[in-house]
Amino acid sequence: MTQITEKKFTRKQALFDQLFQDTTTRLQKAVAEKDTASVLLSGGTTPGSFYDVLSHADLPWDKICLSVTDERWVPATNPASCEYLVRQTLMQNRAATARFFPLKSAPDALMDGYAITLDSLRQMPQPFDMVFLGMGLDGHVASLIPTAEDTARGLDPANKNICQYIRNPGGDYPRISMTVNSLLNVAQVTLLFFGVEKWAVYQDALHDTAFTWPVSHILHQDQTPVEIYWCP
């Protein structure tokens, strides 16, 4: 049974204040114990303002390794890139010295670059210390999208690769996503989402023992504790 802690707030600012405190405490502890820390960050619009604030945190950023939970296969200069978001928001100010491990490698074609990405990510300290996840109204996490043909591989517990190519996510660029095994290879998962509609999806997923929703794979496991941060 998953250890789930729900942290519900009435205002986004209160949520971000608590998340800032919890995140900095966990990363300070990780660096004190191991002399390093590693974090997987979600993309999208939800966390951007939080990353701006976190960039000012008094942390040993030069000992902290960052990557993203998923990525569109576009150059890092493209605003659609999650790496672009992280570099423009979090990797500023004090956090500018953090080390970043890209999911998008140099080749233009996803299948040409996939093996290069796998090799690169093996250099990132693991298990991770924190994984930040958002959640879509279709229950997707990272780029493990229910309608994408490669998502089943990414959700397969037998898939020991750190990431999975997602060739046809539907009306978008090809993507690459951390597998569910990688997302759970962490001291703690932080699941962050807003709105009553997404709360309803989360409630459905809590009872979804058939694993209809990709997020159900995060909520129904006995490996990794999960903290929920939500406000309407």
Distance CA 50, CA 193 (A): 13
The series of mean pLDDT values per 10 residues for the chain, 232 residues long, is 94 97 98 98 89 97 98 96 97 98 97 97 97 96 95 96 94 94 98 97 96 97 97 96
Q: What is the pLDDT of residue 13?
A: 94
As given in the structure block, the two tokens for residue 205 are 């997923």
Q: What is the pLDDT of residue 127?
A: 98
Coil, helix or strand at residue 20: helix
Distance CA 23, CA 40 (A): 12
Q: What is the pLDDT of residue 2?
A: 85
Q: What is the pLDDT of residue 45?
A: 78
**Per residue in 15-63, pLDDT tens?**
999 999 999 999 999 999 999 999 999 998 789 899 999 999 999 999 9
User: Taking the CB of residue 207, how many other CB atoms lie within 10 A of it?
Assistant: 10
The amino acid that residue 207 corresponds to is H
196 Cβ contact partners less than 8 Å away, ≥ 6 residues apart: 232
Contacts by residues 32-38 (CB-CB < 8 Å, ≥ 24 positions apart): 34/125, 35/63, 36/63, 36/64, 36/65, 36/125, 37/63, 37/64, 37/65, 37/125, 37/129, 37/130, 38/64, 38/65, 38/66, 38/67, 38/124, 38/125, 38/126, 38/128, 38/129
Q: What is the pLDDT of residue 41?
A: 98
